[in-house]
Chains A and B, each alone.
Chain A
Amino acid sequence: DVKVTQSSRYLVKRTGEKVFLECVQDMDHENMFWYRQDPGLGLRLIYFSYDVKMKEKGDIPEGYSVSREKKERFSLILESASTNQTSMYLCASNLGAGGRDTEAFFGQGTRLTVV
């Protein structure tokens, strides 16, 4: 079974802190994604990566950065956490160059609260 594992299920951070959300997949997928999920807005793409050390902005990249030093790991970084970044964060991965035709597998999510 494909496994996408997010390092934390729940996280509480203070405003201004630097926050790292980690995601690891074990199926050698080329593509990895970070989304945030908010009520009524669905899943919004923050960043995605089609290869190691490669990243592309999604629809809402402001206030976030990412790192992909190894194929299996994709980190989301909140440089200076703010209360409007309180949300559920979902990591996903899928297979294939471009990966448009294969389904994405999701982690269990990290519920981040910024106080």
Chain B
Amino acid sequence: AQKVTQAQTEISVVEKEDVTLDCVYETRDTTYYLFWYKQPPSGELVFLIRRNSFDEQNEISGRYSWNFQKSTSSFNFTITASQVVDSAVYFCALNDYKLSFGAGTTVTVRA
């Protein structure tokens, strides 16, 4: 069974629009960690943000923000005022016992 579900396969926006990426996860553990990674066209995965299961406070870091809701097992990620350089595949990941990734969402930002 898929532990991390990213329902959006592809998103296309025009520059300066906001982009929200959905992530739903499944775990029986009470202690776990959630991550978002970015894979630009160059191919190497880059860590973006992390959240632990005890901290539901939502945060903003630059143009990135995230919304963690334990009640719905969701960990959504928003890019504000998107730029062409944000074009990439974005992966949500869960680490409870092993590090599991979703299928990824391809974001295309058009100039």
Contacts and interface: CB of A to CB of B under 8 A. Distances in A.
Q: What is the predominant secondary structure among interface residues of chain B facing chain A?
A: loop
B99 A48 contact: yes
Contacts, number: 55
B35 A35 contact: no
Contacts of B44: 106-109
Q: How big is the B interface, by class?
A: 20 to 34
B12 interface: no
B99 A104 contact: yes
Interface of B: 6, 9, 31-33, 35, 43-45, 47, 50, 52, 91, 93, 95-104
20 contacts: A33-B99, A40-B9, A41-B103, A42-B6, A42-B91, A42-B103, A42-B104, A44-B101, A45-B98, A45-B99, A45-B100, A48-B99, A92-B99, A100-B95, A100-B96, A100-B97, A101-B33, A104-B99, A107-B44, A108-B43
Interface of A: 33, 35, 40-45, 48, 56, 58-59, 90, 92, 94, 99-101, 103-109
